[in-house]
Structure 1
């Protein structure tokens, strides 16, 4: 097993562990603690985002002293133990404390993504991100389906055991990688002068003629502005895309009179299936057709229409809407991630990833918090309509700023593409 395959498997395990209960927290809290407050559910999901967004920058700093993959093994072990301990939490307060600590340690597994981007050639970034996205979506399908079934037939404690199993699975893979010597180390290697490092940052179209030198103040300001602007676009998109998530399974059962939670989990997972189909289609298209298929404006429109259709209390409308929403969500998410690694520089991947991840989690946090109030004060349908307005704002923000469909990356030097060991050596001072 190569390290790339290992990271893909670990990503799947991490996603399954994270999403086993994500669509079923209203039922989970009712079943376990008798709490039916929708605002509480929204606040809990928001707190998960706070835990991740506040601790990931810390893990980025720690990973400068310890190899990222070794660090992930240690932190996932602790996360798994905390998850198991939450089974015996007798009160909501105890459950909150234990699971928030769990998510703080669990967030370190996100270091895998910038790490993987560093050890593959830049021309492979789009393909790798798309593959990871599909793996994550497939894992979401399995987790949502199994989460609903386990919660309904085996109980809340079994769902927590499945979450912990994902953490221990990641720990086991990192131990195997360490023992087999397959980990590519990125810390404590030979320093090489900055003059030998090529700036492979992409150039935003409106002031792009040549890449700025690494040490240039103007280049730094330009890069920082691009990352922060992209972060704001990601913030608006993630707020809109995830606004419907905490209460979707509850909405499905309310809108269609289908009370089976396993079926609700499968409907919840339709966007993941749409992402798999989108990846297969993407590999079959010609270069020009692929470019049109990846157009950000088109996919945002598709997501917007999909959200509107889901607000209609009809089985067929909701299923069609989930398909459209899932296709658009996948394409937009991949486009935004590819744009991050195009705008950034290799030695800054982890740092810039932590910045964008902060804003993404902030969007998820605020959306989770708002969703509880929207559902309790207005209706389930209002969540979908407000999310659609947010997608429209995402389109407007992109058009007025970066216009990501027109970003072009500068050519990478031959040395960087032909000698990967030298490339890793050049980047060894950063995570």
Structure 2
């Protein structure tokens, strides 16, 4: 790393580019049903669900390839390639008028955008483990704040332009991020190599055969901590994302305030709640809670959103967003506690398979559920998923997400979920 570019400077610039990516990529997130109906005359909710599931599958297949390429080329070199390709294909997606070519352009664009996920483990290598919780919280808030701004920007675009114009916004964001990556490369930026373990680092103590075993239900002992965490993440992400594709349409059936801009704001309420939660946490007004308590509170927020009262939906989304922020930060923190720094990118790609697998199934099921049971059906399915997740974690506790291995300890070989 050049002397003029510190790890803190790299971190700040990469976090800024992450914010840009989140904002521009979130412009269409609440509005895909309207995009297909307006631009291509497709109103079947199953088609929307299938398309969103295909985007998740694309990320699942592409990210491990980018993670393997990182063994040969630097993260920043791969980011430049990914950002250039994504920007060009975003412009092509704007210009396309045929449904098949729209699918081809946008899914290929997603292949390149999958490289952006390499930023997360890269940034985590730039900071000490003691700072991981703060960085994860900051990145989570950036994602949520970007969701607010992106939904607002997307609502404005759809009210004044063809929905495909949002892809020009995405292209502008891609090229801006590429400029930052090129700047970092020219300054010789790179992530520091993992430090060797120091003497005095506590060893993980194995339980003695004479120690009394806790009275808990049996759990498959051959599953590694990373796989257990991945299974839990798959359930949580499935439950969180199944409500997203058709929420704007659901809000339109419950409220007369159903314009694109207002609908985008209501969609983004969980993001606003996460900002409030972060502020309260920094002021020391909140107490840490077990993950199963946050999952139970998320379930409560989902249940409230299923009521027909618009005011109750707003309140439910705020509760949901508050609890989801706390719960998802804890899940991400568990990953970087389990994984050693030299495995961050590879283990994160495996964990992303689990997350995206949950999201893929959620988007596919969402279209089928709406077609079969109406716009409220995804909320009831999400409620069941969060209740199951809370119950499993309440039963197994720390045995489900094991404590981190000590630094320097050889990591387990973990197969993708």
TM-score range, shorter chain: 0.7 to 0.9
C-alpha separation in 1, matches of 2:184 and 2:273: 33
1:339 equivalenced with 2:345 (yes/no) = no
1:366 equivalenced with 2:364 (yes/no) = no
In the TM superposition, what is the alpha-carbon distance from 1:407 to its structure 2 partner? 5.4
1:64-91, Cα deviation, whole Å (9 max, x unpaired) = 1111012112211111100101122121
Per the alignment, in what secondary structure is the counterpart of residue 150 of structure 2? helix
Unaligned regions of 5+ residues in structure 1, if any?
210-220, 414-431
1:350-371, Cα deviation, whole Å (9 max, x unpaired) = 1111111001001000000000
User: 1:400/1:356 Cα in 2 relative to 1: closer, same or farther (>3 Å)?
Assistant: farther
In the TM superposition, what is the alpha-carbon distance from 1:393 to its structure 2 partner? 1.0
Match of 1:274?
273
1:12-38, Cα deviation, whole Å (9 max, x unpaired) = 122123211011001011111111111
1:151-192, Cα deviation, whole Å (9 max, x unpaired) = 1112223211111112112111101112233x1245xx8x99
User: 1:352/1:400 Cα in 2 relative to 1: closer, same or farther (>3 Å)?
Assistant: farther
Per the alignment, in what secondary structure is the counterpart of residue 110 of structure 2? helix
> Per residue, is there more helix in 1 or in 2?
1
**Counterpart mapping for 1:308-347 below 5 A:** 308-347=303-342
In the TM superposition, what is the alpha-carbon distance from 1:259 to its structure 2 partner? 2.7
TM-score (normalizing by structure 1): 0.85
C-alpha separation in 1, matches of 2:340 and 2:407: 11
**Counterpart mapping for 1:28-427 below 5 A:** 28-181=35-188, 183-185=189-191, 225-285=224-284, 289-292=286-289, 295-401=290-396, 403=398, 408-409=403-404
C-alpha separation in 2, matches of 1:222 and 1:340: 19
Match of 2:24?
17
In the TM superposition, what is the alpha-carbon distance from 1:318 to its structure 2 partner? 0.5
User: 1:290/1:375 Cα in 2 relative to 1: closer, same or farther (>3 Å)?
Assistant: same
In the TM superposition, what is the alpha-carbon distance from 1:399 to its structure 2 partner? 3.3
In the TM superposition, what is the alpha-carbon distance from 1:208 to its structure 2 partner? 6.4
Per the alignment, in what secondary structure is the counterpart of residue 2 of structure 1? helix
- Structure 1 contact 200–345 (Cα < 8 Å) conserved: no
1:253-279, Cα deviation, whole Å (9 max, x unpaired) = 122132311000000001111001111
Match of 1:418?
none
C-alpha separation in 2, matches of 1:16 and 1:169: 12
In the TM superposition, what is the alpha-carbon distance from 1:60 to its structure 2 partner? 0.3
Unaligned regions of 5+ residues in structure 2, if any?
1-7, 209-219, 409-417
